């Protein structure tokens, strides 16, 4: 498993489910202190959590490093407390680690991104030890697929999904490539 927060979980869930070796992605809330938060509580910005995704994957088909690189391509890791039109700490960028090896991998990727000049600002993604993720309500699961008509999906989420497909085509499942 891997857990990431990178803005609205609708786009992040779709970006990561499209990767080879990823079997399931659950939208939820992580990084805060409130047990079992609701979406309404998240909007109040009082839970400490960020919208996050839990990724279930086969490490024989995709490594934690490849998955983490995809996460960094799927959003802007230089934007503090928000992503595009979504502002606030509940949309912040976080990678959760479960071992010292994962922590070191995350640090290496961030160092490489910062030194590469991909972005004109430094990465501000938090690196936190994984503690818990609380699943979001069912209407937030697979929202991208179920609501392609939604203006937010068409104008915000789709751009992130298309960017990841373009940047990492070798990791995208065949059925998602045009």
pLDDT of 126 reads 97
For the cut 80, the answer to whether the pLDDT of residue 154 exceeds it is yes
Which are the contacts of 175, defined by CB distance < 8 A and separation ≥ 6? none
Cβ atoms of 24 and 56 closer than 8 Å = yes
Average pLDDT of the residues of the chain: 95
For 3-48, the pLDDT digits (tens) are: 999 999 999 999 999 999 999 999 999 999 999 999 999 888 899 9
pLDDT of 91 reads 95
Distance CA 170, CA 142 (A): 23
The residue range of the domain holding 31 is 2-176
Q: Is 8 a catalytic residue?
A: yes
Among 3, 5, 6, 8, the one annotated catalytic: 8
Range with lowest mean pLDDT among 37-46, 95-104, 142-151 = 37-46
CATH number for the domain including 76?
A: 3.30.1060.10
Q: How many domains does the chain have?
A: 1
Average pLDDT over residues 109-120: 94
Q: Which pLDDT score is estimated for 141?
A: 97
Is residue 106 a contact partner of residue 93, using CB atoms and an 8 Å limit?
no
pLDDT at residue 43, as a whole number:
86
Closest CA to 15 of 152, 134, 165, 118: 165
């Amino acid at each position: 498993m891997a857990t990431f927060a990178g803005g609205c979980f609708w786009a992040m869930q779709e970006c990561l489910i499209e990767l080879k070796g990823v079997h399931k992605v659950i939208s939820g809330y992580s990084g805060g202190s409130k047990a079992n938060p609701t979406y309404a509580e998240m909007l109040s910005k009082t839970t400490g959590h960020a919208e996050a995704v839990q990724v279930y994957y086969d490490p024989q088909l995709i490594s934690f490093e490849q998955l983490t690189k995809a996460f960094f391509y799927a959003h802007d890791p230089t934007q503090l407390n928000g992503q595009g039109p979504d502002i606030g700490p509940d949309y912040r960028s976080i990678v959760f680690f479960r071992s010292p090896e994962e922590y070191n991998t995350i640090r290496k990727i961030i160092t490489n991104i910062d030194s590469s000049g991909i972005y004109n600002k430094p990465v501000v993604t938090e690196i936190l030890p994984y503690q818990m993720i609380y699943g979001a309500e069912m209407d937030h699961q697979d929202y991208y697929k179920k609501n392609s008509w939604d203006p937010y999906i068409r104008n915000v989420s789709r751009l992130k999904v298309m960017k990841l497909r373009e940047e990492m085509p070798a990791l995208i499942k065949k059925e998602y490539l045009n």
